[in-house]
A and B are shown apart, each in its own frame.
Chain A
Amino acid sequence: MIQRRSREGSTEPLALEVEGLTVTYGKEPALWNADVRLGRGSLAAVVGPNGAGKSTLLKAALGVVPRVSGRVRVLGEDPARRRRLVAYVPQRTSVDWDFPTTVLDVVMMGTYGRLGWFRRPGREERAMALGALEQMELADLADRQISELSGGQQQRVFLARALVQDAEVYFMDEPFAGVDAVTEQSVASLMGHLAQRGKTILSVHHDLATVPRYFEHAVLLNRVVQAVGTVKEVFHRGNLDRLYGGRVPADVPELAST
């Protein structure tokens, strides 16, 4: 249970509250009776083997997958009523980067939520998108065709799009996947800045070695939630061996010992 910076005590709603969540797509449940509670300002990694339901947990938190049972609350409300306060960064490979559009246009998509139905983005939205590009050091790529971007630039474009949403809670699906060292640094420092400003981040993460460096909290997931807590408390070899069935590479550094 993570309760950070809840200065006002118990009156402040948690950033994310998942209770008894079960989700299934077919034969076996993707998530079984999952409980996750994240306080505001948490910087949390979701860790677990392939098919552990990590992306499903994010999508349930976004309210876009049907749940068989359980309850999801984002900032104390149903996710459907919190869309304006939530930003989602999908996997970079989930979209068609040959789509005919520019970097600026993709970032402006982050403003569509506040625009709502039918309204088109205007000058104000454009300025917001340019600001976010500036922040991700992509300003000179604003008019670039998205098909010309490198993997790292694609990821930063996605993060700029999330920044434009000016959300309270950020759900990210593998923002570090397949990016170079420079981008990895800028993604990590962006996450740090957001968390410092009291924003909450829940990010699917695959590289066990960097979990202690980039995250403060960890959700260990393999269809069931094995542990949730600070990296110090839960991210140790005993838990990880259990999570990965004893197949954690021995050279994962920075693991707290059991």
Chain B
Amino acid sequence: MIEFWTLAIAAVTALACALSGTFLVLKREALVSEGLAHAVLPGIVIAFALTGNRTSPLLLVGAAAMGLVMILAVQAIRRTGVVDATASLGVVFPALFSVGVLLTSLELAGTHFHADCIIEGNLALAPLDRLELGGRDLGPRAFWSVSAALLLVGCFLLLLFKELKLLTFDGELASSLGFRPGRVHVAWLAVVSFTVVASFEAAGSILVVALMIAPAASAVLWVNDVRHVLGLAAVLALASAFAGHHLGLVMDIAPAGPMATSAGALFLVSLALAPRGILVKGRARRRALAQLEVDLVSARLKPGEPRDCDVVRGELGWSPRRFGAAVARAVSGSMLVHDAGSGTLSLSAGQAEG
């Protein structure tokens, strides 16, 4: 049963993270997830200090609010025009994180809130921390908090998918149509912030970034529509959760690390093999170059006028190897006729007519 809950928490966390991370990737602000993951720490500690209760739902809300404070602070700093967006992110989030670390060592000494847990979460123990209501056991608390995040993300996407897509692609059009892209964006980031906090227990502050960014960054290499990117990111996230969980069992280690590793491995596979990946692109480029070489040789020939190979090669300034390969391709494509005896090239009959 514990294994079931571990897997369920992992799957829901991965799903919520991937869906909320997709629009960060599309808006080219993936680093925001990293910022949030760090900035929510003081929120968690302060909320803990105020409630004196590590299990309070207020903890989630307080920490998410702290994440939003970071977003607004970054925007305010950027608006001054003195530093750019990434620099202001780089200033704000370590500052808040350091406050969090400071508070952790003051407030939480002696509790089970350790630095390790902050960095990579505590998925293995999460199923043991139960949510009880009126004496009834409703399952692990972490499951309910990530499910709440997934529900929030899902509702936001169902209601405001159109608006989110518009502001991500063309913020200027969005404002000219009255869709208030600034406010919708901040509302969305509040949802993302909540997701980061809810995933904290399962994934920790570093690994949550991998779960948010890797699935979407992989998906955009495969498919060409925002909906499909969301769908594929969800599938890849689930695959990472299952693979990571399985690896964790086999290797007898905490599952969060293998989950992030799986997400990263899927990204590497996508980067290599996907239609927008490097192999396909490289092959297309080589193919285009090969065709261009054939065209260049053909362009130096006139119908019915064979020319000496070495002269043509000299005009092109190519190495014998390159020239030979281009001629071989042209001959096999019956574009050119190569007379080995006289060492001449001519356009093939079909080409000459064309």
- B 215-231 contacts with A by CB, 8 A: 220, 223-226, 228-229
- Binary contact readout A79-108 vs B (1 if CB under 8 angstroms, 0 otherwise): 010010010101000111001111001100
A24 within 8 A of B: no
**Interface-forming stretch among A30-38, A110-118, A188-196, A205-213?**
A110-118
Knowing A62-B176, A64-B176, A118-B160, the reply to whether A100 touches B229 (Cβ < 8 A) is yes
Contacts of B107 in A (CB 8 A): none
Bound complex: CA A145 to CA B224 (Å): 7
Residues from chain A with a CB closer than 8 A to the CB of B224 are: 100-102, 145
Chain A residues contacting B161 (CB-CB under 8 Å) are 120
Residues in chain B near residue A161, CB distance under 8 A: 173
Contact B176 A99 (CB under 8 A): no
- Cβ proximity bits B157-172 to A, threshold 8 Å, 1 near / 0 not: 0011111011011101
CA gap between A95 and B225 in the complex, in Å: 16
Q: Answer whether residue A121 sits at the interface, using C-beta atoms and an 8 A cutoff.
A: yes
Q: A99-B169, A106-B169, A112-B163 are in contact. List 9 more A-B contacts (CB 8 A).
A: A86-B176, A90-B173, A100-B226, A101-B165, A105-B225, A117-B160, A118-B159, A120-B162, A171-B176
Interface string of B175-210 (1 = CB under 8 A from A): 111110000000000000000000000000000000
Known: A26-B81, A95-B169, A118-B160. A100 touches B175 (CB 8 A): no
In the assembled complex, 7 residue pairs joining A and B whose CB atoms fall closer than 8 Å, in A order, are A62-B175, A83-B177, A100-B223, A101-B169, A102-B224, A161-B173, A171-B176
Q: B28 contacts the other chain (Cβ, under 8 Å)?
A: yes
Assembly CA distance A80 to B177 (angstroms): 9
In the docked arrangement, what's the CA distance between A90 and B170, Å?
A: 9
- Beta-carbon nearest neighbor of B228 in chain A: A100
Interface 1/0s, chain A 52-93, versus B by CB < 8 A? 000000000010100000000000000010010010101000
Judge if A179 is at the interface, Cβ distance under 8 Å: no
Shortest B19–chain A CB gap in Å is 15
**B292 CB → nearest A CB, Å:** 19
Residues of A within 8 A of B31 (CB): none
User: Is there a chain B Cβ closer than 8 Å to A109's Cβ?
Assistant: yes
B residues at A contact (CB < 8 Å)? 26, 28, 81, 159-163, 165-166, 168-170, 172-173, 175-179, 220, 223-226, 228-229
Shortest A200–chain B CB gap in Å is 15
Contacting pair B26 A83 (CB below 8 A): no
Query: Does B169 lie within 8 Å of A117, measured CB to CB?
Result: no
A residues contacting the other copy or chain, number (CB 8 A)? 30
**Most A C-beta atoms less than 10 A away, residue of B165, B166, B170, B173:** B173
Which chain A residues border B163 with CB–CB below 8 Å?
A: 112, 117
Q: B170, A83: Cβ atoms under 8 Å?
A: no
A46 to B311, CA, bound (A): 57
Contact partner, A115, options B81, B160, B162, B223, Cβ 8 Å:
B162
B226–A88 touching, CB < 8 Å: no
Q: Given the complex, which residues of A lie within 8 Å of B172, measured CB to CB? A: 64, 88, 90, 94
| Dominant SS among interface residues on chain B | helix
- In the complex, the chain A residue whose C-beta lies closest to that of B184 is A117
Contact A100 B225 (CB under 8 A): yes
A102, B223: Cα distance in complex, Å: 11
CA distance A125 to B209 in the complex (A): 37
Cβ of A94 and Cβ of B170 under 8 Å apart? yes
User: Does the CB pair A88–B26 fall under 8 Å?
Assistant: no
Smallest distance from the beta carbon of A84 to chain B beta carbons, Å?
Answer: 9
The answer for the CA separation of A171 and B175 in the assembled complex, in Å, is 14
On whether the beta carbons of A112 and B162 are closer than 8 Å, the reply is: yes
- Are B170 and A112 within 8 A (Cβ)? no
Q: Which residues of B contact A62 (CB under 8 A)?
A: 175-176
Chain A residues with CB below 8 A from B166, complex form: 109, 112
**CB distance A96 to B169 under 8 Å?**
yes
CB distance from A73 to the nearest CB of B (A): 16
Give chain A residues whose Cβ lies under 8 Å from the Cβ of B169. 95-96, 99, 101, 106, 109
Tell me the complex Cα distance, A121–B162, Å: 9
CB-CB nearest in chain A for B181: A64
Q: Is the CB of B160 within 8 A of A88?
A: no
**Residues of B close to A145: CB separation below 8 A:** 224
Instruction: Tell me which residues across on chain B come within 8 A of A106, comparing CB atoms.
Output: 169
Contacts of A105 in B (CB 8 A): 225
Shortest B25–chain A CB gap in Å is 10
A109's contact among B26, B170, B229, by CB below 8 Å, is which?
A: B170
With CB as the reference atom, state the residue of chain A lying closest to B174. Answer: A112
Query: How near does chain B come to A97, taking the closest CB pair, in angstroms?
Result: 10
